[in-house]
Structure 1
Amino acid sequence: MASGSGGVAGVEMQKKRTAILISGRGSNMSALLSAAEAPDFPAEISLVISNRPDAAGLQVAEAAGIRTLVLNHRDFADRIAFDASLDAHLRIESIDIVCLAGFMRLLTPWLVERWRNRMINVHPSLLPAFPGLDTHGRALEAGVRFHGCTVHFVRPVMDSGPIILQAAVPVLPQDDADGLAARVLRQEHAIYPAALRLLAGGQLSVENERVEITGARFPTEVMISPEA
């Protein structure tokens, strides 16, 4: 486990080594990288892994001085082989926490359970509503008044798992899927770093598949978008 600065009264803070998994541009990865630059942030981004060698986020991570790794899923016989390699690399790098940031691979239950309560994901809807893809279009079609995003612990069932933080935005009469997506994405960039801070700081526990937050004021300022 790596050391960091920013401890209280001269005590050095031990930061949690964090890996980010991406498949594309990694905009949420960039938000996590930016947050982790703060001296008092309890996680350090130690590794970025992509299953796609052409993922634009790899260049962003490299420019930030972060170690990167490509595990091309096409090079593996099946999902089990891919996940076994992924798990091995995470453990070689002494990773404590895994963040999924636009990682477009379904992970096997074997891997998810090995990282139980240490793997988190951000999803562009107010789960349990609209799991899966095309969340913004589906929200508009359903006529909901509020949409948003969720950071949750990963479980074997896709887009399930105990909810850590959510942010809501109003659905406006003029919204289309792209405009709504852009406003939700801004909230993703706010709550994902906030959730990682809570997890790495030891402020989260899971009881009966519900998340308890302790030792900090609940961050309501990032929960509801003021946009009208």
Structure 2
Amino acid sequence: MDALIAAASTPEFPAEIALVASNRPEAAGLARAKSLGIAVAAVDHKIYAGREEFERSLQIVLAAHRIELLCLAGFMRLLTPWFVEQWRGRMLNIHPALLPSYRGLHTHRRALADGVKIHGCTVHFVVPEMDEGPIVAQAAVPVLDRDTEETLAARVLEQEHLIYPRALRLVAAGALRVEGNRVLGAASGAAAALAVPACD
């Protein structure tokens, strides 16, 4: 969230952070956003009978603030197909793995257990299926021999803070198009390949 707010505070950024919402009223991000003058909303899922009722209340809040794009960060609830459909092509999520590998939880632990040499993060459009959807941006990091779950997570998080604002910039500017499950227009200026061990 902080990386998105910082990016959107620059004059040339094609979007503004109009609202920070959370399903956890105690979330620290709400207080941080409020201190920066950003509107906040807590929609506590625990007070609703089910997911649909919670999501309809959330939808009312989003409509009241005239939200056009949703960026999920640290949101750990599965959304219903109804809600996802309301935001198709306008809702982004960031996941701490190189999708389609390591969907779900404990991605860094699983990457270390599998002995992969490259790990990373993914920004993707949200679809009803968990951690699927067209991929907007990815960043990769090497997995080092001395890595623990915590050190790997920290290095991936640095990349999350870089690629999420870039992905939002491209989406908000209308610079991308989706064809099937591919997002086109994001790979211009891509870096050279990351290889572990490095190629000569």
| Class of the TM-score when normalised by the shorter of the 2 chains | over 0.9
Using the alignment, how far apart are the partners of 1:221 and 1:43 within structure 2? Answer: 25
Over the matched positions of the two proteins, sequence identity in percent amounts to 57
Residue 185 of structure 2 corresponds to 213
Which segments of 5 or more consecutive residues in structure 2 lack a partner in the other structure? none
- SS where residue 94 of structure 2 aligns? strand
Residue 65 of structure 2 corresponds to 93
Residues 154-173 of structure 1 show CA distances to partners (whole Å, capped at 9, x for unaligned) of 00011000000000000000
Give the paired residue count.
196
Which segments of 5 or more consecutive residues in structure 1 lack a partner in the other structure? 1-28
Residue 138 of structure 2 corresponds to 166
- SS where residue 44 of structure 1 aligns? coil
- SS where residue 46 of structure 1 aligns? coil
Q: Within 5 Å, which residues of 2 pair with 1:121-140?
A: 121-140=93-112
RMSD: 1.8
- SS where residue 150 of structure 1 aligns? strand
> What is the CA-CA distance between 1:89 and the residue it aligns to?
1.3
**The 10-residue stretch of structure 1 (83-92 or 106-115) with the greater mean CA deviation from structure 2:** 83-92
Tell me if 1:34 matches 2:6.
Answer: yes
Instruction: Flag as ranges the 4+ runs of structure 1 deviating above 3 A.
Output: 221-225
Residue 56 of structure 1 corresponds to 28
> What is the CA-CA distance between 1:224 and the residue it aligns to?
5.9
What TM-score results when the alignment is normalised by the length of structure 2?
Answer: 0.94
Using the alignment, how far apart are the partners of 1:97 and 1:52 within structure 2? Answer: 20
What TM-score results when the alignment is normalised by the length of structure 1?
Answer: 0.82
> What is the CA-CA distance between 1:219 and the residue it aligns to?
4.8
Structure (1/2) with the larger strand percentage: 1
> What is the CA-CA distance between 1:104 and the residue it aligns to?
1.3
Residue 59 of structure 1 aligns to which amino acid in structure 2? A
Residue 51 of structure 2 corresponds to 79
Residue 220 of structure 1 aligns to which amino acid in structure 2? A
